[in-house]
Amino acid sequence: MTYAMIGTWRMAYEGLCKGIDLLKDSGTSADAVETSIKEVEDYPFFKSVGYGGLPNQNGLVEMDSAFMNGDTFAVGAVMGISDVKNPISVARSLSHDHFNSVLVGNGATEYATQNGFERKNMLTERAQKIWRKRKREIEEKNLSPYDGHDTVGMVSLDQSGSISVGTSTSGLFMKKPGRTGDSALVGDGFYADSEIGGAAATGLGEDIMKGCLCYEIVRLMGTGLSPQDACDKAVYPFVKKLKERYGKIGEFSLVALNKEGQWGVATNVEFTFAVGTEDSKPAIYIAFPGE
């Protein structure tokens, strides 16, 4: 059996290389997802994930993360968790529970603390500086506060045919306390079914969730479409509909992988992503808005 992994944005690359190494050595897709996302969460210069992530309106870094096992459909997720080093590990741990597998705010942080997950002040000096500057600009120039957001999403296929997916983000910069997006919502920001494939999203969660886009991509792959055709068919007609009916639309990008290790992407903005497969070394690619 083959193995493969796809991740959103340039920031996914180093983590994805680690994930691919695991998969090559017969590691599980779940370990590949967790390891690769932890790498992104730990890197202090990515402004939208984990340590160094930009804070909310009140200056607090509130993070969303999710994990899904495509063999069992087990899902674990945290929303608005703070002061925890690796939200993805908390999400994966929660996926083992049938009850209480999605936790928000203080409850998520409390679970992490009680279960021995490493605590950490995730707000860096650099993130604080950017926050202060942005706050000034917003006040002086009367700008929209919401500027900048990215999620790392990883979809992984291992040699036993198992597919897992994970996401992690500090969400929309300057978001209101308690705001969440698509990244920890199953079917919206992520989905996996090992008999078919998996998908992950990045972009303006408020709009991604309107289309349940990750579920839709996996569903379409299940009808026999390639990951690229499924991405095209799920995303572009929805972009068109949303523009027509809602009037405006945020930026978003989706990645997909199927059980043969084939992949696809769809985006309405210039988008970098990383892919590694049994046949092609990990590399960074760029996609342009399609229709």
Candidate list 183, 194, 268, 277; residue touching ligand SD4; CB under 6 A: 183
Residue 204 assigned as binding residue: yes
Does the footprint of ligand SD4 cover residue 171 (CB under 6 A)? yes
- Residues 124-153, one symbol each (x = binds ligand SD4 by CB under 6 A, - = not), give -------------------------xxx--
Q: Is 53 in the site for ligand SD4 (CB under 6 A)?
A: no
> Does the protein bind ligand SD4 through residue 268 (CB under 6 A)?
no
**Distance of alpha carbon 167 from alpha carbon 153, whole angstroms:** 4
Question: What is the total count of residues that contact ligand SD4 (CB under 6 A)?
Answer: 13
CB of 120 to ligand SD4, least distance (A): 20
Rule CB under 6 A: say whether 172 interacts with ligand SD4.
yes
Measured from the CB of residue 176, what is the shortest distance to ligand SD4 in angstroms?
A: 12
276 contacts ligand SD4 (rule: CB under 6 A): no
Q: Which residues are catalytic?
A: 151
Q: 75-81 and 102-104: which strand pairing?
A: parallel
Q: Is 182 assigned to a binding site?
A: yes
188 to 207: interface string for ligand SD4, x by CB under 6 A: --------------xxxx--
